[in-house]
Amino acid sequence: MSTSTLPAAAPRPVRATLGVPNVIHSEWTKLRSVRSTYWTAFVAFFVSIGITVLAASEMVHNFAREGDHLDGFDAANFSLQSLYAAQIALGTLGVLTITGEYATGMIRTTLTSVPQRRSVIALKGLVYGLAMLVISEIMSFVAFGIGQAILHQQHIGVSLSDAGVFRVVFGGGLYLTTVGMLAFGLGALLRRTAAGLATFFGVLFLPSALIDLLPSSWRANAIKFAPANAGTQILNRNRVHEMLGPWQGLGMLALYAGIILLGALYLVGRRDA
């Protein structure tokens, strides 16, 4: 009696995949373990606070000397002018968060561990965005508090309970976060640090300069839609004539960031790492 041995079935390849919580934890570990994250946040924070202290002290000094009535002075907006400098640092971090992995080749390891490319980029952006939201809100409220403490020396400050002030201060953090997400999207779209940074500065600042070259009849209608002009309306207590409203303006800036992010997500699945 003969027996036959059936051939063993070939083992199916097993692809290890990480769940969403593990991917988020991995991206958070990457973000907080890079020294540039801390240095960039440090520079943004202390430059912002330093500018606030200098500007508010100068305002108090001039007011005491000249006795200005300060008609139309927006104390909340004034104490947050330093956020314009902070946006450069945080935007740079947004670009580096994604382009750094492409520069080192680490992105290949990441996409091998998690083949769902669009999910990886989306979760990386989520982690960066949440981190920037926390940093930006702290920066905005601290700058406001220090600025108002100085302005109150001449009784020209405001408090969070005054009409429209909380929205301005909270909106300052939202504005910085949205600018950061715009920068992140450009980094994911272009995958090169130099190109991402150059395009970030161009998208944020160049439209306003170009619109100024238009005929006056066109300029008034176009300037309100420039990214920086639209987004910064959230920092004004009162609506500026012929500009978008505070939330409309921030929404317009978020729309720019969203379109760029969607473009990056579309392309990441159609090209090599």
Q: DSSP labels for 58-72?
A: HHHHHHHHH----TT
Closest CA to 193 of 132, 76, 103, 114: 103
Report yes or no: 48 and 83 within 8 Å, Cβ to Cβ: yes
pTM, to two decimals: 0.86
pLDDT of residue 113: 76
Rounded to whole angstroms, how far apart are CA atoms 38 and 47?
14
DSSP symbols for 8-38: PPPPPP------HHHHHHHHHHHHHHSHHHH
Low-confidence ranges of the chain (pLDDT < 50): 1-4, 6, 8-16
**pLDDT digit string, tens, across residues 109-139:** 877 777 788 888 899 999 999 999 999 999 9
**pLDDT digit string, tens, across residues 212-258:** 888 877 887 888 899 999 999 999 988 888 888 999 999 999 999 99
Residue 89's alpha-carbon distances to 39, 46, 92, in angstroms, are 10, 11, 5
pLDDT of residue 138: 94
Rounded to whole angstroms, how far apart are CA atoms 236 and 168?
6
The structural domains of the chain, with segments of one domain joined by +, span: 20-64+74-268
pLDDT of residue 70: 65
Q: How many CA atoms lie within 13 A of 98 on its CB side?
A: 36
Rounded to whole angstroms, how far apart are CA atoms 249 and 253?
6
How many other C-beta atoms are found inside a 10 Å radius of the C-beta of residue 78?
22
pLDDT of residue 112: 78
Buried residues in 181-214 as b, exposed as e (16+ CB within 10 A): bbbbbbbbbbbebeebbebbeebbeebeeebeee
Report yes or no: 172 and 86 within 8 Å, Cβ to Cβ: no
